[in-house]
Amino acid sequence: MSLSYDEIAESYDELYGEEQRAKYRLALALVEPQEPVLDAGCGTGMLLGLLPCYSVGLDLSPRMLEVAKKKGRGFAGDLVCGDAERMPFRDRCFRSAYSVTVVHEAPGLVRELLRVLAPGSCAVVTLLKKREEVLGELVAQAPVVHVVESGELKDLVLVLTAPAESFLRREAGVHRARQEVSAAHQGESQRGASAQEDEEEGGGPRPA
């Protein structure tokens, strides 16, 4: 994937600029950018050029990032070369995120966005309509999602909301409880197996 975008990096804005800018305008209208902002799959940085606050542009193509830097985009933040499905960022470090026309090539992107977004923060993800068959899989990854369709765009627009802190605490509590119950069942099973072995070896239960 990176190689093909490397090859068209210099001409990308000319080929797709008008189409992509229309998507960016809708994305910004749906979710107001909150600093720090992540653009996952930033390409030549067209969205970064519209953001007045600190932002991070992530892309797998070194050449696309070179074009972004050459055009002065991302000047209010940083450009990072990396995989949108394995982002090199810590948990809950962004307050808003955008990813335009990327997720059809990186379906694990949604889970990563929800990981790096602060609780309650929002992201806009666009999916090519011709790849709508993966929509169900994407929606299943997000606890809160709204789908917006614009007849003027080639993409469906998904608005995701990261789980609130209370939801995360509740999920963590449920996970811990399940672990404790599982450990208790395992302990009972082991004690039962040990007692059965004692009976078989001694011909019956041992006196207390």
Does position 198 have pLDDT exceeding 80, yes or no? no
Higher pLDDT, 194 or 172: 194
| Predicted confidence (pLDDT) per residue in 54-105, tens digit | 999 999 999 999 999 998 887 778 999 999 999 999 999 999 999 999 999 9
What is the pLDDT, as a whole number, of residue 24?
A: 95
Percent of the chain with pLDDT over 70: 76
Residue 175, pLDDT > 90, answer no
**Does 169 have pLDDT greater than 50?**
no
Does the pLDDT at position 50 exceed 60? yes
Of 138, 143, 107, the C-alpha closest to 122 is: 143
Torsion from C-alpha of 118, 124, 128, 134, nearest 10 degrees? 40
- The Cβ of residue 155 has, within 10 Å, a number of other Cβ atoms equal to 26
The pLDDT value given to residue 196: 60
Largest distance between two CA atoms of the chain:
87
Q: Which residue has the higher pLDDT, 146 or 33?
A: 33
- The residues near 83 (Cβ < 8 Å, ≥ 6 apart) are 60, 106
DSSP characters for 107-169?
Answer: TTHHHHHHHHEEEEEEEEEEEEGGGGGGHHHHHHH-SSEEEEE-TTSSEEEEEEEPPPHHHHH
pLDDT of amino acid 156: 92
4-20, pLDDT tens digit by residue?
889 999 999 999 999 99
Q: What confidence tens digit (pLDDT) does each residue in 108-159 have? A: 999 999 999 999 999 999 999 999 888 888 888 877 688 888 888 999 999 9
- Give 171's pLDDT tier (boundaries 50, 70, 90): very low
Question: For residue 72, what pLDDT is reported?
Answer: 87
Go through the chain and tell me how many residues it has. Answer: 208
Note if the bond before 119 is cis, omega within 30 degrees: no
Q: Given phi > 0 = left and psi -120 to 50 = alpha, else beta, which region is 200?
A: alpha
Lowest mean pLDDT among 30-34, 86-90, 167-171: 167-171
**How high is the pLDDT of residue 174?**
42
CA–CA separation, 14 and 16 (whole Å): 6
